[in-house]
Structures are given as structure tokens and as C-alpha cells.
């Protein structure tokens, strides 16, 4: 794997991810595109996360400020590639993940950010049904309201020069740092999302059921969509390191899922929104 000037860099924020990180790194080692570096940003882990990263031979960085925005920012600032992709430690990437990202940027010189969607390899049945039938309509609805695609941190890539042009991630955010930067990026170039371009990620945050899992995101999402405010109603997430469903999560919570189907069945798409900030503001 090239060490000096790789075309692509992959940044993975990680906090106590010893159970998940090996699968993520293994999927990256098996990519059909080979010109890349992997950067794992250890965000104050107390388990074997750092040891696992070292064992895989990746670049290991440490970020003392807690939160995915800080960790992604640290990784992006140290990345050597002209294109920087990011994913999560509990995510498994398809073999063509990097080659597809590279091809998208190669064929469209105006593209500054590209991303896709996800499926869940764990979690309650209601979550898997929601991701299968409702995630794409929601992404289209979000684009219609926001005016730009909202990229997902588990499956997105940014042109390095555009990242610096908009000032990097907003490190004051505990949530939606991926969405917020994608909207700002749309002001300096083209941002594209392909809902069919998917990775597989853990559904551990929904182990108590779909409704309780979504409740954490409900008010911040409403604030973002209606008022363009990204920092409202945010709180630090308690770490979830087990995938086993709780008793509540084993209940037929798809009973609660059904009303959402009709609500999201007719969403459409549009384009373009964002606001430019400086790197100084975010660091």
C-alpha cells in the first residue's frame, strides 16, 4: 500500500471499538483499489482499539477532544490523499467502495463530495425494514427541504482542497457534523449522493427498538430541516458497544414502524444549500 502520496485517504474515528474495528479494517484491506492510506483516529479509547490499529499497520492518530467531529477533523488535517473518504469503525465496506469513489471524482471535475447510503447488519427487524424501504425516501425528502444532499459519515468522500476551502468540520457539533459540512460543500462545488451505493453498518444504537433509537435524532433533525440550525438539541451520546437487542428491542417493534411507511412514501428531490465558514472558526 502506498505510503507517501496516495490518491485516497480513509479516516476512521474510533472510541473503544475493539469489537468492531477489525472487520472494518479487514474490508479496507480487501479493496480492489490499492492506492490509499488508512488513518484511525483514537478518540481516548480505554480498550484495545489502538493496539488493533497498530496490528493492521495503519496510521494511528490520537485526538483528546471527545467527539466524532474532532476525530474526523484530526484525520482529515493529516490525510495525504487528494480525496479523503471517511467511514465509521463499526462499518463494513464493499470491495469496490474505494474504486467507485475514485471513478466518481475522476469523471466529474466539479465534484467536491460524494457519498452513499447504508444497510444494517444488526439491530431489530424494524430497523432493517426502515433502512430498506424508508431511508431512500427520507434522503430525497431531506434534499428537497435542505436544498442539498446530506451525506452520511459512514459512507462519504471529500476532495481535500474543498475540505480546506470550507473550513473543515464544525467541531462544536456532537451530531450531524457530516450533514453540516456536506451542505457547506455544496456552495463551492457539486455534492452527490447515490442511495444505491451502500455500506453495511451496525444497528447497535437501535438495540432498544427503532422508535427509541430515532428519538435521539428527532429534535436535532427537525431543527436542522426547519430552521437550518445544526447545534440545537444536541447531547453527547452514551457509548453503545453491544449489539445484542434488549428485551424491548426484541418486541415486534415493527408495529410502531408501519405508520412511517405512508408518511415517507412520496418524497421528491431538488438541489443546492450551504454556508461557508473558516477553518479558524472550527478549530
For residue 109, the model assigns a pLDDT of 96
Task: Flag whether pLDDT at 78 surpasses 50.
Answer: yes
Q: How many domains does the chain have?
A: 1
Q: Which residues pair with 92 in a beta bridge?
A: 200
pLDDT tens digits, residue range 199-250? Answer: 999 999 999 899 999 998 999 999 999 999 998 887 666 666 667 655 444 5
CA-atom Rg of the chain in angstroms: 18
In a domain, 281, yes or no: no
Across the range 166-183, mean pLDDT stands at 97
In a domain, 3, yes or no: no
In a domain, 223, yes or no: yes
In a domain, 276, yes or no: no
In a domain, 275, yes or no: no
- The CATH number assigned to the domain holding 226 equals 3.90.550.10
Task: Please state, in angstroms and rounded to a whole number, the distance separating the CA atoms of residues 14 and 27.
Answer: 16
Are the CB atoms for 90 and 17 separated by under 8 Å? Answer: yes
For residue 232, the model assigns a pLDDT of 83
Percent of the chain with pLDDT over 70: 82
The more confidently predicted of residues 1 and 4 is 4
The more confidently predicted of residues 274 and 212 is 212
- What is the value of pTM for the model shown? 0.85
In a domain, 121, yes or no: yes
Cell 451502500: give the residue. 198
- 173: closest CA among 233, 225, 129, 89? 233
What's the chain's average pLDDT? 87
Proportion of the chain in helix, strand, coil states, percent, rounded to 5: 40, 20, 40
Task: Please state, in angstroms and rounded to a whole number, the distance separating the CA atoms of residues 216 and 45.
Answer: 23
In a domain, 34, yes or no: yes
Task: Flag whether pLDDT at 132 surpasses 70.
Answer: yes
Task: Flag whether pLDDT at 276 surpasses 50.
Answer: no
pLDDT tens digits, residue range 47-57? Answer: 999 999 999 99
Q: Show the domain range for 44.
A: 8-269
The more confidently predicted of residues 266 and 202 is 202
Amino acid at each position: 500500500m502506498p505510503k507517501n502520496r496516495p490518491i485516497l485517504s480513509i479516516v476512521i474515528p474510533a472510541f473503544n471499538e475493539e469489537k468492531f474495528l477489525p472487520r472494518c479494517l479487514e474490508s479496507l484491506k480487501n479493496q480492489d483499489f490499492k492506492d490509499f492510506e488508512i488513518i484511525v483516529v483514537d478518540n481516548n479509547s480505554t480498550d484495545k482499539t489502538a493496539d488493533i490499529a497498530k496490528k493492521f499497520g495503519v496510521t494511528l492518530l490520537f485526538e483528546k477532544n471527545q467527539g466524532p467531529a474532532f476525530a474526523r477533523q484530526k484525520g482529515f488535517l493529516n490525510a495525504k490523499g487528494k480525496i479523503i473518504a471517511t467511514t465509521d469503525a463499526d462499518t463494513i465496506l464493499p470491495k469496490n467502495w474505494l474504486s467507485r469513489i475514485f471513478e466518481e471524482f475522476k469523471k466529474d471535475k466539479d465534484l467536491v463530495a460524494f457519498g452513499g447510503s447504508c444497510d444494517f447488519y444488526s439491530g431489530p427487524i424494524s430497523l432493517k425494514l426502515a433502512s430498506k424501504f424508508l431511508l431512500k425516501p427520507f434522503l430525497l425528502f431531506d434534499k428537497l427541504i435542505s436544498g442539498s444532499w446530506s451525506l452520511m459519515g459512514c459512507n462519504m468522500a471529500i476532495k481535500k482542497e474543498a475540505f480546506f476551502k470550507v473550513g473543515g468540520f464544525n467541531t462544536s457539533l456532537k451530531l450531524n457534523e457530516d450533514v453540516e459540512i456536506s451542505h457547506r460543500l455544496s456552495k463551492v462545488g457539486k455534492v452527490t449522493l447515490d442511495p444505491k451505493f451502500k455500506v453495511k453498518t451496525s444497528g447497535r444504537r437501535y438495540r432498544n427498538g427503532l422508535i427509541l433509537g430515532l428519538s435521539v435524532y428527532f429534535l436535532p433533525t427537525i431543527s436542522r430541516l426547519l430552521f437550518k440550525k445544526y447545534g440545537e438539541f444536541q447531547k453527547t451520546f452514551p457509548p453503545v458497544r453491544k449489539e445484542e437487542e434488549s428485551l424491548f428491542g426484541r418486541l415486534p417493534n415493527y408495529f410502531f414502524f408501519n405508520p412511517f411507511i405512508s408518511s415517507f412514501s412520496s418524497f421528491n428531490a431538488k438541489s443546492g444549500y450551504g454556508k461557508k465558514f473558516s477553518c479558524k472558526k472550527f478549530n
